[in-house]
Amino acid sequence: MSRNMFKFLGGKYLNLISRRALVAMASRKFGIELIDNLIFEEPSNVGSVLILGDGGTGKSTLCKQFAYEGLRNGEKCIYVAIDESPEEIVDGMRRFGWDITKYLNEGSFSALNVAPAELSNINALNLKLTESFSKMGRGSSGRVIIDSLTALCSTLDRPTVIIDFIRLLGRKVKTFNSICFYTLNRQGFDSRLIELVKDVSDGVIELKLEEEQGRLRQYLRIFKMKGVDHSKKWVPYTIDHYQGLRFYIPRVLMVGPPGAGKSTIVSQLAGEQRSQFRVSLGELEVEIMVGGEDKPSITRQLISSDISGILVVADSADPYGLPEAVEMLMDLKSSGLPLIFIANKQDLPDAITPQNIKEEFGISEEIQVVGVSAIKGEGLEEALRNMLKLIVNVPV
């Protein structure tokens, strides 16, 4: 992680991420940053992890990601192919750039094909898994992926059989110093069955889709992880074509008239003059893009870049620049994006307060005006956190 992630206001390096989160980053754990950053201890007593979510949330992608990161870490992997054929699983991993040819050749990765008829015979499935575990050997750790339990739950009509299977599976993988990940589609099943499966699983990772501002946004949380201290927040994520599931990092455009103090803000947040940089705020990050100072250049940036929000910076002590910044703000309302007006240079004696700016220029209540002193490094974190709250529907 770069030093700039911890660059804070006033030129001091303060810990914007908790000490526990830093420990989590230093440890490999599951090998997926999105998950590991939410877990503050090594999950030593976790044998079974449920990946629960609606269709289209990336459950199968996360399974492949878990498998690949385990292989990279020297672990063996058994992939139980239920929803996809073994060939489709390997091809799907390659599409993300996860080439497992080496692991296939050396026998570290094996895909266990389960025919539909075998799903109704839980004893036969148990036997097949036990044989695969035996081949893995007790001396080395491994990962077992079952994608998914949805077909199994649809086939078996007795919930007790499913629960016993999951409970036995969790115990079995622990004896082989391994961990099992399995997926389940939340839709189509009685909520009581869902709660039972969650209850007997050592860990539960939940995925969901939310429609916000006309866009579908994906969220993840760790509902539980046995014996491990972890974050319980919903965090936004995206599915990257090369990385799999990763944190969603919103991009915010920062604009304002000349002399408003944009360069000073950049220096405080990034430590140096950059046109684009990231700032860490706890478990989330925001990417700041410095915009133009005229309407045509700002419009081009809004069209060409994936912008999630806009910060309009104003010199609150400048009688000429302040009205210009307000006019810029009013023009940008038509973008439909979250807006925050940064009243900079509040440290100057002639600066107009945020409340007086709202009243004098008739800025509507839904637009926040945040008082900032960029030179002192005051108010910037508040402005960024408020922007994140407007963009993503999670506590920041």
pLDDT value at 11 more than 90 = no
> What pTM value is reported for the model?
0.73
* Mean pLDDT over the full length of the chain: 86
Model pLDDT for residues 248-275, shown as the tens digit of each residue? 889 999 999 999 999 999 999 999 999 9
Report how far residue 80's alpha carbon sits from residue 60's, in angstroms, rounded to the nearest whole number.
Answer: 12
Assign 138 a pLDDT band (cuts: 50, 70, 90): low
Report how far residue 164's alpha carbon sits from residue 54's, in angstroms, rounded to the nearest whole number.
Answer: 24
Q: Which helix (H) or strand (E) holds 93?
A: helix 86-95
What are the structure tokens assigned to 349, written together?
Answer: 């004696």
More confident residue, 131 or 137: 131
How confident is the model over 327-340, as a mean pLDDT? 93
Assign 124 a pLDDT band (cuts: 50, 70, 90): confident
pLDDT value at 348 more than 90 = yes
pLDDT value at 392 more than 80 = no
The number of angstroms, rounded, from the C-alpha of 282 to the middle of its chain's C-alpha atoms is: 12
Assign 358 a pLDDT band (cuts: 50, 70, 90): very high
What DSSP assignment string belongs to 224-245?
A: EETT--B----EEEEEETTTEE
273 residue type, one letter = Q
pLDDT value at 90 more than 60 = yes
Assign 310 a pLDDT band (cuts: 50, 70, 90): very high
Report how far residue 280's alpha carbon sits from residue 385's, in angstroms, rounded to the nearest whole number.
Answer: 10
Residues contacting residue 63 through CB under 8 Å, at least 6 positions apart: 51, 79, 145, 147, 181, 183
Assign 333 a pLDDT band (cuts: 50, 70, 90): very high
Q: Report, at the CATH architecture level, how domain 251-391 is classified.
A: 3-Layer(aba) Sandwich (3.40)
- From the number of C-beta atoms within 10 Å of its C-beta (0-12, 13-18, 19+), residue 322 rates as buried
The pLDDT value given to residue 23: 36
| Bridge pairing between strands 76-81 and 109-113 | parallel
The pLDDT value given to residue 285: 85
Q: Are 277 and 4 in contact (CB under 8 A)?
A: yes
Domains 33-247 and 251-391 share a fold: yes
Model pLDDT for residues 16-74, shown as the tens digit of each residue? 333 333 333 334 489 999 999 899 988 888 999 999 999 999 999 999 999 999 999 99
154 residue type, one letter = S
Q: Which helix (H) or strand (E) holds 252?
A: strand 251-255
Q: Are 185 and 54 in contact (CB under 8 A)?
A: yes
Sorted by where each begins, the domain ranges of the chain are 33-247, 251-391
Q: Report, at the CATH architecture level, how domain 33-247 is classified.
A: 3-Layer(aba) Sandwich (3.40)
How confident is the model over 111-138, as a mean pLDDT? 80
Q: Is 124 helix (H, G, I), strand (E, B) or coil?
A: helix
What are the structure tokens assigned to 118, written together?
Answer: 């075998």
More confident residue, 188 or 192: 192
Burial state string for 175-201 with b = 16 or more CB within 10 A and e = fewer than 16 = ebebbbbbbbbbeebeeeebebbbebb
| Beta bridge pairs of residue 301 | none
Point out the least confidently predicted range of 123-137, 173-187, 279-293.
Answer: 123-137
Report how far residue 60's alpha carbon sits from residue 380's, in angstroms, rounded to the nearest whole number.
Answer: 39
pLDDT value at 230 more than 60 = yes
What DSSP assignment string belongs to 26-84?
A: HS-TTS-HHHHTTB-S--TT--EEEEEE-TTS-HHHHHHHHHHHHHHTT-EEEEEESSS
pLDDT value at 155 more than 90 = no
The pLDDT value given to residue 22: 35
Report how far residue 310's alpha carbon sits from residue 342's, in angstroms, rounded to the nearest whole number.
Answer: 10
Point out the least confidently predicted range of 5-14, 190-199, 334-343, 375-384.
Answer: 5-14
Residues contacting residue 203 through CB under 8 Å, at least 6 positions apart: 43, 46, 48, 49, 50, 222, 224, 225, 226
Point out the least confidently predicted range of 14-23, 229-238, 245-254.
Answer: 14-23
